[in-house]
Chains A and B, each alone.
Chain A
């Protein structure tokens, strides 16, 4: 008997989350080199979003990137998103802060942090990630902070008003193996932020410049939000699995679940006990992975 499974969803999820819906907004650039930078950043984010396979992606740029269109996109999602879905909003461009109001610069009227907060609060998705790579983006943090939201800003406050380097680094991380710290072939928001934060610091220090941006992340679910896949083998495709492969997948997922459970309960286990159990579980996972590889290697439908 054949089992029909989505290969992607079989891969061990850190949290049980639904579909991912991604909106990318490429704001006004001003100078030509910013136009190039913003476009390549947006393109890279879109490619990464596509690597997730099952996600919905919408890119607003040029004349489409207006306050009205963005709010319309968000309003539409009030009815299309489910509570267990993940919603991701990327803001790529320039921002401003007048000591009272943060604005992301768009064609026509700018959109404020307050506008965004109102629209995002109305979304049913219980996991939201907002990545704002603009100058002064730290100024949006107060208005957008919410328990179900992960916030990433290129600057720590509105006072950091210079154009930022953070965006391209964040986008590049989504296709860079070295950003994959837990080696699960996927890049989470936490991993992308760690990569980009370090790259920004390295940039200013190697250039011997005073750092004019200090990226910030708020929210405790950043590891759960997956933004790209590094192994691009048929993402999201449904394939036929032999019983052996299906069994091996189940074993691997069980081993992963066991490890995750151990880590969550670490405080309740005595030091040695935790380490012993963890090591046993890690070995089991390694064996399960080996079995899976062997099963996949000689799979016969």
Chain B
């Protein structure tokens, strides 16, 4: 096997991005063996920082091996020098995999995970069981929640002959990951092994204690003695605070996270990563100016953190956004929940009316169903640039989700953030608003699966586009028996083990809520939600609610899934075959054949409603065969199942118009607003139809939105708007619109006629 030599390739990259003030160097836990360095590290660990600094400085000036001087430079946060020493050390000892691995750690430390992984993989290609390379690779991958993490982690957890320090690091990482997926017992077990390893091999145990503190807090304790123990073990290290803070971030308890990060920077004011995390979490609770201060501090300390830089740029971009409040003078303590929308200026007028109405409607539905009243101002942000949304959420671009709720702050893609038809912004907003309630009602303690499950359930049940929509990939997972036990379902969201597991977990959680609702109604869902406001495990909550063990619940749920969806997931091949036959028939204009193929396709999988669905194929074939009533019925069934494709909706509306059903056409076109509210021609068409249907108030709203979108034929929209205003008796406003129309198009005859009519009526 040929290995690409990378020793020299990455040097330039590292030099470009190294920071003088990066976060403190982690303890090596035996990855480096040198008595002088150990002495310096011991001073640092004891918190005698001046002595430690002096010790490292002396080591740096000594004739110690290059790799040791690299460690000293790293400890003094002179990363450029550390890199030079490592580079020379690797040149001098190309076969020393330990030195190469430490160089990889330096890359990881300076935000260059890809380069670090290349080094770790190179080391592992030469020596497959290299303990610290495995530990380094696992840590890097865990940062991005990669499912590949276990590939590198498991060998260290299983092998007792691995280097003890690497084993310790593996246990710490495994404990963190167990905490992320709420597996308290597993975290406890990993930390027990870690404690033994630290005791046996005399490693500093501060990190073990810090994670024990996080574990205590995760169990619902309000404080933990382990914090003091961690501080005692490493008095100058903020680990005692950052690990609990991190745990609060993972459990979406951002206010608590902020408090713990504030403690961290009080102890370690130079800790860039803590300032960064504090800034980001302050943003999540809408404390933007404080967030900026900490992000700027983080930038001064470590200007090469992409997360800090991206987030500061995002904050700068907020000047291009409007903040629209409802009520307009909203303030905390108002009887009506204050709502603040942060929308980019060029979209705000078009989106705000729908977003406000939908948010109010969602809140009313959720508060009623779950018996809980929201009591904090709610912020909804929509980003036309998906990468801005991704930075808002994770600090980095490239995120695959559509929206996120940080409590009373929702951030999501704006309708223009994705291609038309790619997502339903209304449904996404509905989903995130359900999170606002479930998080608030449980003080953010609701497990991820139940929060996501209720959000999906509400999409299907009460959302702007109701209908149970389950993608084919989820049915395929069902066929392969990949649904998780309910008590392990959180893991499917946080650290998926196969490509589609996140979406499978969303759908499974939604179906569980659907099942519970069928069994226990609204009251059952509300009761389960309330139970999660205490620190209760999923298994205990299920037992409390239903009186059965989690395993029994899983068995009953499986029977329910099979009853309702068994036929579909067992027939995916047949479904695909008949769908393909229908499309072939449509292509050759064999419309009778298309309808014949569409029927079994629909029967097997009625919930498939995408643009290529059998529902739409059948409607188009029926239309081609001049059977408008049949086509209208097919379109209607498609909508009942959650159809939302904008072109399908437009075709449906066009058919209603052809058939003279103006009210139905309006009803259908209004659904497009939940998918593509920035289509000015849609608002004009709707405005015009509403005028014809003698619904001037709604027409006026649609036309006002169309005007905000700078329509192609502005004079026409102004004229239509004037007609609506005239019908509403707002003649002054109507006259104003007419003059605006005529300024663009002086010879616009219809506008002239209406102007003269209004002018004469006034006199």
Binding site for B on A (CB under 8 A): 12, 178, 181-185, 194-195, 198, 205-206, 208, 256, 259, 278-279, 282-283, 285-287, 289-290
Contact = CB atoms under 8 A, between A and B. Distances in A.
B749 A279 contact: no
Nearest to B748: A183
B715 A195 contact: no
Contacts of B745: 181-184
B199 interface: no
Contact of B752 (A198, A205, A278, A285): A285
Contacts of B716: 178, 183
Interface stretch (B164-172, B329-337, B723-731, B736-744): B736-744
A279 B739 contact: yes
A208 B739 CA distance: 38
A286 B752 contact: yes
B11 interface: no
B747 A285 contact: yes
Nearest to A197: B712
Contact of B712 (A178, A208, A278, A282): A178
Contacts, number: 68
B747 A184 contact: yes
Given A283-B755, A286-B755, A206 B420 contact: yes
Nearest to B714: A181
Contacts of A285: 742, 746-747, 752
B752 A289 contact: yes
B713 A283 contact: no
Q: Top 5 closest A-B pairs, CB basis?
A: A183-B748, A286-B752, A183-B745, A182-B745, A282-B742
Contacts of A178: 712-713, 716
A91 to B, nearest CB: 26
Nearest to B647: A206
23 contacts: A12-B747, A181-B712, A182-B745, A182-B746, A182-B747, A182-B748, A183-B715, A183-B747, A183-B748, A183-B749, A183-B751, A185-B747, A205-B420, A206-B420, A259-B746, A279-B739, A282-B739, A283-B759, A286-B752, A286-B755, A289-B747, A290-B752, A290-B756
A205 B746 CA distance: 33
Given A181-B714, A286-B755, A205 B744 contact: no
Contacts of A183: 715-716, 745, 747-749, 751
B714 A256 contact: no
B756 A287 contact: yes
Interface of B: 419-422, 647, 712-716, 739, 742-749, 751-753, 755-756, 759
Q: Which one of A206, A256, A259 has the highest number of Cβ atoms from chain B below 10 Å of its Cβ?
A: A206
A205 B749 CA distance: 34
Q: Which one of B420, B713, B746 has the highest number of Cβ atoms from chain A below 10 Å of its Cβ?
A: B746
Given A205-B419, A286-B756, A290-B756, A181 B746 contact: no
B743 A278 contact: yes
A12 B747 CA distance: 9
Contacts of B421: 208
A198 to B, nearest CB: 5
Contacts of A279: 739
A103 to B, nearest CB: 34
Given A182-B745, A279-B739, A282-B755, A208 B715 contact: no
Nearest to B749: A289
B753 to A, nearest CB: 8
A9 to B, nearest CB: 16
A195 B421 CA distance: 24
A205 B753 CA distance: 38
Contacts of A287: 756
**What is the predominant secondary structure among interface residues of chain B facing chain A?**
helix
B747 A256 contact: yes
A205 B419 CA distance: 7
A289 B742 CA distance: 13
A287 B757 CA distance: 11
A211 to B, nearest CB: 12
A282 B740 CA distance: 10
A184 B748 CA distance: 7
A256 B712 CA distance: 23
A283 B712 CA distance: 25
Contact of B715 (A182, A205, A290): A182
Nearest to B752: A286
A4 B751 CA distance: 30
Contacts of A289: 747, 749, 752
Contacts of B743: 278, 282
B678 to A, nearest CB: 11
A181 B755 contact: no
A79 to B, nearest CB: 36
Q: Which one of A208, A278, A286 has the highest number of Cβ atoms from chain B below 10 Å of its Cβ?
A: A286
Given A181-B713, A182-B745, A256-B746, 18 more contacts: A178-B716, A181-B712, A181-B715, A182-B748, A183-B749, A183-B751, A185-B747, A194-B712, A198-B712, A205-B419, A282-B752, A283-B756, A285-B742, A285-B747, A286-B752, A286-B755, A289-B747, A289-B752
Contacts of B420: 205-206, 208
Contacts of B752: 282, 285-286, 289-290
A259 B747 CA distance: 11
A290 B419 CA distance: 47
B422 to A, nearest CB: 8
A287 B745 CA distance: 15
A236 B714 CA distance: 30
B744 A182 contact: yes
Contacts of A185: 747
A208 B422 CA distance: 9
A290 B751 CA distance: 12
Contacts of A205: 419-420
Contacts of B739: 278-279, 282
Contacts of B759: 283
A181 B744 contact: yes
A195 B712 contact: yes
A271 B620 CA distance: 55
A185 B749 CA distance: 10
Nearest to B738: A282
Contacts of A259: 746
A36 B647 CA distance: 26
A278 B739 CA distance: 9
Nearest to B744: A182
Nearest to B747: A184
A164 B33 CA distance: 68
Contacts of B751: 183
Contacts of B747: 12, 182-185, 256, 285, 289
A222 to B, nearest CB: 16
A285 B752 CA distance: 8
A129 B30 CA distance: 79
Contacts of B712: 178, 181, 194-195, 198
Contacts of A256: 746-747
A206 B679 CA distance: 11
A283 B759 CA distance: 9
A121 B742 CA distance: 38
A194 B715 CA distance: 14
Given A205-B419, A206-B420, A290-B756, A282 B746 contact: yes
Nearest to B755: A286
Contacts of A208: 419-422
Contacts of A282: 739, 742-743, 746, 752, 755
A183 B751 CA distance: 10
A195 B712 CA distance: 8
A290 B753 CA distance: 8
A289 B752 CA distance: 8
A294 to B, nearest CB: 12
A288 B510 CA distance: 67
B734 to A, nearest CB: 14
A271 B752 CA distance: 23
Contacts of A195: 712
Nearest to A195: B712
Nearest to A279: B739
